[in-house]
Structure 1
Amino acid sequence: MATATSSQKVLSLYRDFIRHGSKFSSYNFRDYTLRRSRDAFRANMTETSPEKIGSFIAKAEQELAVVKRQAAISQMYTTGEHLVVETPRKVK
């Protein structure tokens, strides 16, 4: 069974993936990142082995670092154009 600490870490990683994946300016990258993150976490949701959970957490941390970097780069080169399938974002 997963410990409370690892469960909190996994939940925190999941939230970070969703938060940073939502920052992509391109609809295609944003949608892919969010969909892939959800699918990966759901696929490993029932894992109980502490060793496997630890390796999943380590891999997720590496992939999160990539998502953070790519989202930051994506925001630097925005065109301001949106696809028809996108819902308009509210400007704050």
Structure 2
Amino acid sequence: MAATRMEVLKLYKQLLRESLKFSSYNFREYAVMRVKDAFRENKNVTDITAVQKQLVKGYTNLAIIKRQVIVGNMFEPQKLVIEKQTS
């Protein structure tokens, strides 16, 4: 069970790290919010098979986020007013 817990934490960190790479503020905030909400919803799952299913789903979503970050960075959006302006 400890290996599974470490794997879940590793996936969580990877998802958050990758979500923060979105160039669009709205996509970035939404992705981070969804990652946190999904892990919060499933924090009480203890069945090993259910945990494994969620891990597979998480790794699939990680691959999707990685692809979307690449595509999103191809088309750099303008900064929003609420974002920090870099000069």
Secondary structure of 2:46's aligned partner: coil
Query: Scaled by the length of structure 1, what TM-score is found?
Result: 0.88
Q: What is the match of residue 35 of structure 1?
A: 33
User: What 5-or-longer segments of structure 2 have no aligned partner?
Assistant: none
Query: Scaled by the length of structure 2, what TM-score is found?
Result: 0.92
User: What 5-or-longer segments of structure 1 have no aligned partner?
Assistant: none
Q: How far apart in 2 are the matches of 1:58 and 1:50?
A: 12
Aligned residue identity for 2:55: I
Q: What is the match of residue 56 of structure 1?
A: 54
Q: How far apart in 1 are the matches of 2:75 and 2:21?
A: 12
* Candidates 67, 77, 81, aligned match of 1:84: 81
Q: How far apart in 2 are the matches of 1:60 and 1:49?
A: 16
Q: What stretches of structure 1 move > 2 A for 4+ residues in a row?
A: none
Q: Matched residue pairs, number?
A: 87
* Identity across the alignment (%): 37
The CA RMSD over aligned residues, in Å, is 1.4
